[in-house]
Amino acid sequence: MRKAILFVAVILMAAVAGCTGAPCNCPASGCDNCSANSTGWAAFYVVPDAGGVSRLDADSPCSATFDTTERMLVSRLGPGECIVRISYGDGVTFVFQVQFTAVVGGCGCYLAANSTLVGPVDAGDQSTGG
């Protein structure tokens, strides 16, 4: 079995969370609303493997890109689910489910993300996705 991937979600839009009473340090621009036109972002740190990443993709309407060799960004318009796949040169693909949920706080409504590892899939078994 390959080395485990360190996959830590950092919820970028949640920086305004926890603002429930006075005084409230909300951003000057307020929070994003939770409509279908609001973008939710999540950053994930991935420990690179010696085999290297050969492919990164997300099911529509989501997107996934690397902004550094160790940090992946996942985005989606509005609340909902994203399925993200990271494939490595040795044929193993890790599949993640990222759920964007509307959260109401003292500063308004924002989109938060939670991720779950669905499972690794080797090149011979693509039943979990990928």
What integer pLDDT is reported at residue 18 of this predicted model?
42
| 3-state class (DSSP) for residue 122 | coil
What integer pLDDT is reported at residue 14 of this predicted model?
37
What integer pLDDT is reported at residue 51 of this predicted model?
65
Low-confidence ranges of the chain (pLDDT < 70): 1-33, 47-51, 122-130
Separation of alpha carbons 100 and 120, rounded Å:
22
What integer pLDDT is reported at residue 87 of this predicted model?
87
In tens, the pLDDT along 69-86 reads 788 899 999 899 999 998
Is the pTM higher than 0.85? The answer reads no
Q: Is 54 left (phi over 0), alpha (psi -120 to 50) or beta?
A: alpha
What integer pLDDT is reported at residue 97 of this predicted model?
93
**For the CA atoms of the chain, what is the radius of gyration?**
16
What integer pLDDT is reported at residue 107 of this predicted model?
73
